[in-house]
Amino acid sequence: MTVTREELMKNIEEKEKEVILLSDIDGVTIDWLDGFIKYCESIGHKALHNKPEVFAMTDIFPDLEKPWIHIMDYQHSPYYDEIKAYPEVVEVYNKLHDMGVKIVFVTSCGTTEHIKESRNKVMEKEFNGKFDHIEYLEFGASKTEILNKYPNATYIDDQIKMSIEGAESGHDSFIKDMSYNRQDNDERVKRLYSFKELIPHFENKLGIEKKSQKKIKLK
């Protein structure tokens, strides 16, 4: 027998708490890099590969002294409006939402109306509207203030600095394993190799007994 969202929400209410997932967007839920590479190649800058070893991406664009200076142009290009989500993340986040987890995206991609409108459309489309809110911050800004608004949540980012902010805000903090962050570690931050690892994590937070006759169906 499959547990319904209504039954799971009732379970949460009985425990008198919200179970919250705070998640970064770019590089964590959607393939920002793929869109950026396509944009750079459209203006004549060929990427050597698509697995940067440094966050600044200087190793994949050797002809660009500062690849990041092109971000603003990228954000106003058609490629930015066409970023795709990682399929596994969509599958897992949709399941978590159905389980009763409150999903809040926290992004420091910028706060202009253009960026918000573009990002809202992408997230609504890619995640079928199965999330609760998006928190926007200025480009590159610290997320501490936003993270402190939510008690005892789970936080996921792809930058160790931001993941540490999550831990310091009292959350279970994860860093998504990416080619550009494998040298970045902190004992307060867990490394996330597969998003399916989040299912048992949230089953535990929701108080779902694994041996119960009521099982959540997973692929």
Report CA-CA distances (Å) from 162 to 47, 69, 158.
Answer: 27, 21, 8
- Cα distance between residue 154 and residue 103, in whole Å: 10
- Cα distance between residue 39 and residue 80, in whole Å: 8
Burial (CB count <10 Å: 0-12, 13-18, 19+), residue 29: buried
Question: Can you give the residue ranges of every domain in the chain?
Answer: 5-31+85-206, 33-81
Q: What is the pTM of this model?
A: 0.85
The CATH number fitting domain 5-31+85-206, selected from 3.40.1410.10, 3.10.129.10, 3.40.50.1000, 3.40.1790.10? 3.40.50.1000
Q: What's the CA angle centered on 70, arms 67 and 75, to 5 degrees?
A: 130
pLDDT 10s per residue in the chain (219 long)? Answer: 576 777 766 655 544 479 999 999 999 999 999 999 999 999 999 999 999 888 878 889 888 877 778 888 999 999 999 999 999 999 999 999 999 999 999 999 999 999 999 999 999 999 999 999 999 999 989 999 999 999 899 999 999 999 999 999 999 999 999 999 999 999 999 999 999 999 999 999 998 754 443 445 555
